[in-house]
């Protein structure tokens, strides 16, 4: 497992070793001992999966403290543009975003610690997106940051993505009480 720093404290890209042969590919996406060796001593309590059509945008979601969730995210079919926004007011990257293309072909993953809003844009039909979470879903703590907030200047690469009515009601960054 290789890790790549992102410039955001705690946010890292993980690249498992891919084994390919005439049968296909194999990768180890989670190994508690390997993650501990990378100083990622994480206990996961919930797995989530979504399947999305091309140009579906989900997010930018987060849970307020004390119910913040860290997420290990990856795509197991297709590809997605993954985007996070740092909501940690004491962070030097507060209010900035990071984006990365995740794909089943590449097998790459992103560890997103608590304190980030998270969303993604499905780049292919039937894209399967999986999350391993270190805290349970807590509906009363859930919030949504508006995906196209002009202050954030996120280039999603599409003009009219398919967005849920709930996500269209997301808050502007300037109106979050963090």
CATH number of the domain to which 17 belongs? 2.60.120.10
Catalytic positions are 61, 131
- pLDDT tens figures, 108-140: 999 999 999 999 999 999 999 999 999 999 999
pLDDT given at position 100: 98
What tens-digit pLDDT sequence spans the chain (178 residues)?
A: 899 999 999 999 999 999 999 999 898 899 899 899 888 889 999 999 999 999 999 999 999 999 999 999 999 999 999 999 999 999 999 999 999 999 999 999 999 999 999 999 999 999 999 999 999 999 999 999 999 999 999 999 998 999 999 999 999 999 987 6
- What is the domain count for the chain? 1
| Number of C-beta neighbours around residue 119 at 10 A | 26
The beta-strand segments (E) located in the chain are 2-5, 12-15, 19-21, 24-26, 46-52, 56-63, 71-77, 79-86, 97-103, 109-112, 116-122, 127-133, 142-144, 162-163
pLDDT given at position 45: 96
pLDDT given at position 39: 87
| pTM score of the predicted model | 0.94
pLDDT given at position 56: 98
pLDDT given at position 38: 87
Domain around 12: 2-175
């Amino acid at each position: 497992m290789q890790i790549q720093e992102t410039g955001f404290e705690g946010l890292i890209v993980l690249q498992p070793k891919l084994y390919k042969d005439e049968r296909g590919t194999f990768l180890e996406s989670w190994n508690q001992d390997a993650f501990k060796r990378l100083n990622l001593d994480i206990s996961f309590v919930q797995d989530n999966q979504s399947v999305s059509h091309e140009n579906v945008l989900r997010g930018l979601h987060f849970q307020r403290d004390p119910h913040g969730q860290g997420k290990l995210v990856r795509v197991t079919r297709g590809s997605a543009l993954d985007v996070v926004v740092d909501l940690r007011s004491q962070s030097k990257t507060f209010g900035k975003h990071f984006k990365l293309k995740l794909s089943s072909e590449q097998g790459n993953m992103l560890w997103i610690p608590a304190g980030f809003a998270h969303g993604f844009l499905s780049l292919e039909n039937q894209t399967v997106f999986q999350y391993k979470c270190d805290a349970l879903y807590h509906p009363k703590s859930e919030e949504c940051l508006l995906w196209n907030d002009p202050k954030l200047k996120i280039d999603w690469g599409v003009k009219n993505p398919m967005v849920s009515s709930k996500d269209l009601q997301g808050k502007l960054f300037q109106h979050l009480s963090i």
